[in-house]
Amino acid sequence: EAQVTQNPRYLITVTGKKLTVTCSQNMNHEYMSWYRQDPGLGLRQIYYSMNVEATDKGDVPEGYKVSRKEKRNFPLILESPSPNQTSLYFCASSFGGAIINEQFFGPGTRLTVL
């Protein structure tokens, strides 16, 4: 089944404790992206990747890191999480490099930073 998977689905952590949210897709998509969703703000892009070893900042990259060593995986790293990073996070992927191509989203990771 074609899908985007994220782990963990739920995470409660404390300020400053490094964490990684994994994202994997099995559709051989070139483009992958991370978003955060906050009430009243819709989805805001954190980072995106056009292909392996090609990443770039989105609208809200501060406090986050990503890597794209393999085509299928695009982990999101929070080196020192803070309470303002409490949010719902989505990973997405799409075929080719055109942003207008349909994006396939993972189920989301709800992160709480205390």
Residues that bind another protein (CB under 8 A): 4, 31, 35, 40-45, 48, 50, 56, 58-59, 90, 92, 97, 99-100, 102-108
The Cα 43–Cα 88 span in angstroms is 9
Nearest distance from C-beta of residue 16 to another protein, angstroms:
29
Q: Between residues 16 and 107, which has the closer beta carbon with respect to another protein? A: 107
Nearest distance from C-beta of residue 17 to another protein, angstroms:
25
Nearest distance from C-beta of residue 73 to another protein, angstroms:
17
Q: Between residues 56 and 79, which has the closer beta carbon with respect to another protein? A: 56
> If you search the block for the tokens 């990771």, which residue do you land on?
109
Beta-carbon contacts of residue 94 (< 8 Å; ≥ 6 apart): 29, 30, 31, 101, 102, 103, 104
Q: Between residues 27 and 99, which has the closer beta carbon with respect to another protein? A: 99
Nearest distance from C-beta of residue 37 to another protein, angstroms:
8
- Residue 1's Cβ-count burial label (10 Å; 0-12, 13-18, 19+) is exposed
The Cα 83–Cα 86 span in angstroms is 5
